[in-house]
Amino acid sequence: MPLWKHALLTLLASACVWAHADTITGKVVGVADGDTITVLDDAKRQHKIRLSGIDAPEKSQAFGQQSKESLSDLVFAKTVVVETDKIDRYGRRVGKIWIKGIDANLEQIKRGMAWHYKQYAREQSEEDQREYAEAEDEAREAKRGLWKDVEPVAPWEFRRRQ
């Protein structure tokens, strides 16, 4: 393939992944797992949202169900505000979930129900990078949630092994 075609395809693929900054306000009508929710906005449109900056255990993984329940307790059937500026390769919006002034993404880490997803940390503000990393360290030291496990397996490692 000529270099210019490859460059054009790369540019188009990037444009498909990144969307304009957006704010979605709506009710959480579904919690798929510890880092994915469905929000119903006022226009009755559903938005699948992947929580940014975190990666929660897979459903079939240790603490997967507890992580889902934690997120559900935090946001299900409640009104949230989603700050989003990206669409992932699965068509989900990626964003930060706010509920009554609480960063739900960060809360999942604090509860020991998710890892700080450092692979995507560059997409976060410096403040969020610092807060999420510190929250993970604190949860690990306190042995909260998944950190109770002797050797917790990060979700990206679990997926790679499957």
By three-state DSSP, how is residue 149 classified?
Answer: coil
58 is catalytic: yes
Phi, psi (degrees; rounded to nearest 5) at 120: -110, 15
Q: CA–CA distance from 85 to each of 71, 88, 96, 119 (Å)?
A: 21, 10, 10, 17
Q: CA–CA distance from 9 to each of 5, 13, 120 (Å)?
A: 6, 6, 22
Give bridge partners of residue 93 from the DSSP assignment: 49, 87
Residues in the chain: 162
By three-state DSSP, how is residue 125 classified?
Answer: coil
123 is catalytic: no
92 is catalytic: yes
Task: Pick the catalytic residue from 50, 107, 111, 131.
Answer: 50
Task: Pick the catalytic residue from 92, 107, 131, 136.
Answer: 92
Task: Pick the catalytic residue from 45, 58, 122, 127.
Answer: 58
Instruction: Pick the closest to residue 115 from 77, 76, 155, 87 (CA basis).
Output: 155
Q: Provide the annotated active-site residues.
A: 50, 58, 92
